[in-house]
């Protein structure tokens, strides 16, 4: 009984093998005839375009998978290198140095951040990539099967046609050939229709997959670099404080750590609902009063003398023709033009009378004949040194002349503070860009 079943199974396998060999020979023969032009071939231009797109999509996906794996390997390598570097720093960092605990914490958080970043890439981007590519082998196999079934259909079609055209028509053979043709056509059309619907959908799905993949990667990278930037800032603050500690010990001074730069920046830029608007602190008190300079002799005559001069006739206003009028020396608080200069031999009353008569023609600004630059209100002179304590403040030395400017927004002006630019900068560059604020009580108006 067992021997009979074995013979039967062997016969089935042998028959199936013979059938497969016959199909392969028929397909090979059909391909040769088609290449030689002796047999026509079923062509579907739309399907062939879909197959070309499928091959392109599969090649691009395979390359993307390869590059993504390389990127993950690089992230893992960077993680390992970063961990070794942080461990090396932690081992070298001596306990008495500033920020030993902070350095250890930064090393641990950096390692966790790298691990989390790598795991998210693997769990989301890489797994999604593998799932996306897993559908291509099955579709590729079905396309190859469709090509084989199309060859079988063409072969059956040509065989049936040749029997119909033969001189001796055997109806039994014709009927059998027709039956084989119908069966081959049905199998081919079923798989052909399925692929015609599936290939365009697969081709269009690539856009959504690319968007999701790279959007998720971009989001992970953004969060990773943001958190890593905070840790790097903290490490930079620790190193800065350590250097301050080193310099203080070198100078033999006591040293206490100040607030971290990141904390100071956050405090300066944080806004709470109940916080009042930040105002500039009141200007410091002036330095000890210095002795004032000796008074300059007045050039204006007494009222009674001036009245007597005005009563003179016109000849009193004419200077001596033999006397040359050299320019009068000026002081920092008073500037004159050549038209206002007096001579040693010329009476000082000439200037007073001319001013009273309204004969002065120069443009007078800030109480003198000097024309100030556009936008300048008046000038002041620094009476004491002032060291700037903020980026928008103007540093001054005693004796500096400052051109006072109007505030662009008067609401921003704080009591006791002025906006200006050094006169030396204006004379050298002819611009008012290097402006800053300074305490008014450190200066004297000119």
- Per-residue pLDDT reduced to its tens digit, 338-393: 334 334 434 343 443 333 333 333 334 444 456 788 889 999 999 999 988 888 89
pTM above 0.85, yes or no: no
Long-range contacts formed by 178-187: CB under 8 A, 24+ apart: 180/156, 181/153, 181/156, 181/157, 184/149, 184/152, 184/153, 184/155, 184/156, 184/157, 185/153, 185/156, 185/157, 187/149, 187/152, 187/153
251 SS3 class: helix
Phi-psi region for residue 358, left (φ > 0), alpha (ψ -120 to 50) or beta?
left
Long-range contacts formed by 182-191: CB under 8 A, 24+ apart: 184/149, 184/152, 184/153, 184/155, 184/156, 184/157, 185/153, 185/156, 185/157, 187/149, 187/152, 187/153, 188/146, 188/149, 188/150, 188/152, 188/153, 191/142, 191/145, 191/146, 191/149
Looking at the predicted structure, is the pLDDT value of residue 213 above 70? yes
**378, two tokens:** 């008046």
User: How many angstroms from the chain centroid is the CA of residue 277?
Assistant: 30
Q: Dihedral sign for Cα 372, 378, 381, 384, please.
A: negative
- Residue 280: the pLDDT is 52
User: What pLDDT, in 10s, does the model give residues 160-170?
Assistant: 887 888 777 77
- Residue 251: the pLDDT is 80
Look at the block and give the residue holding tokens 């402006």. 435
Q: Which of 9-13, 88-92, 100-104, 317-321 has the lowest mean pLDDT?
A: 317-321
- Residue 26: the pLDDT is 67
Strands ordered across the beta sheet of 417-422: 436-439, 417-422, 401-405, 376-382, 443-445
How far is the C-alpha of 205 from the C-alpha of 199, rounded, in Å? 10
Q: Where do the H-state alpha helices sit in 121-170?
A: 127-165
Looking at the predicted structure, is the pLDDT value of residue 414 above 60? yes
How far is the C-alpha of 41 from the C-alpha of 28, rounded, in Å? 13
User: What pLDDT, in 10s, does the model give residues 17-61?
Assistant: 766 666 666 667 666 666 666 666 677 888 889 999 999 999 999
Q: Which of 7-11, 288-292, 356-360 has the lowest mean pLDDT?
A: 356-360
């Amino acid at each position: 009984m067992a021997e009979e079943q074995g013979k039967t199974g062997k016969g089935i396998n042998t028959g199936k093998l013979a059938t497969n060999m016959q199909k392969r020979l028929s397909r090979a023969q059909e391909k040769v005839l088609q290449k030689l032009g002796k047999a026509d071939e079923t062509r579907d231009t739309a399907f062939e375009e879909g197959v070309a797109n499928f091959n392109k999509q599969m090649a691009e996906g395979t390359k993307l998978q390869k590059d993504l794996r390389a990127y993950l390997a690089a992230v893992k390598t960077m993680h390992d290198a970063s961990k070794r570097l942080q461990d090396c720093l932690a081992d070298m960092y001596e306990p008495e140095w500033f920020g030993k605990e902070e350095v250890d914490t930064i090393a641990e958080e950096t390692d966790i951040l790298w691990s989390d970043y790598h795991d998210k890439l693997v769990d989301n981007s890489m797994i999604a990539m593998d799932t996306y590519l897993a559908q291509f082998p099955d579709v590729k196999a079905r396309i190859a099967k469709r090509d084989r079934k199309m060859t079988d259909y063409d072969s059956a079609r040509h065989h049936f046609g040749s029997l119909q055209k033969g001189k001796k028509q055997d109806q039994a053979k014709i009927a059998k050939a027709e039956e084989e043709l119908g069966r081959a056509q049905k199998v081919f059309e079923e798989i052909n229709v399925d692929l015609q619907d599936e290939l365009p959908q697969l081709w269009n799905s690539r856009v959504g997959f690319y968007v999701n993949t790279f959007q998720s990667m971009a989001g992970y990278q953004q969060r990773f670099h943001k958190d890593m930037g905070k840790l790097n800032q903290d490490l930079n603050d620790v190193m800065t404080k350590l250097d301050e500690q080193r310099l203080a010990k070198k100078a033999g001074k006591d040293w206490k750590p100040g607030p971290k730069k990141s904390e100071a920046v956050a405090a300066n830029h944080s806004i709470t609902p109940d916080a009042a608007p930040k105002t500039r602190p009141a200007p410091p008190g002036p330095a000890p009063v210095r002795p004032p300079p000796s008074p300059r002799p007045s050039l204006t005559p007494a009222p009674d003398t001036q009245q007597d001069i005005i009563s003179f006739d016109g000849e009193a206003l004419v200077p001596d023709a033999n006397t040359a009028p050299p320019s009068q020396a000026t002081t920092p608080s008073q500037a004159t033009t050549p038209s206002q200069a007096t001579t040693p031999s010329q009476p000082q009353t000439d200037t007073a009378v001319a001013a009273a008569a309204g004969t002065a023609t120069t443009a007078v600004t800030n109480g003198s004949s000097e024309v100030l630059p556009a936008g300048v209100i008046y000038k002041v002179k620094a009476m004491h040194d002032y060291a700037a304590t903020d980026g928008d403040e103007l540093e001054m030395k005693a004796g500096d002349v400052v051109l006072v400017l109007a505030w662009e927004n008067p609401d921003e002006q704080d009591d006791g503070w002025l906006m200006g630019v050094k006169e030396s900068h204006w004379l050298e560059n002819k611009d008012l860009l290097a402006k800053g604020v300074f305490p008014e009580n450190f200066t004297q108006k000119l």
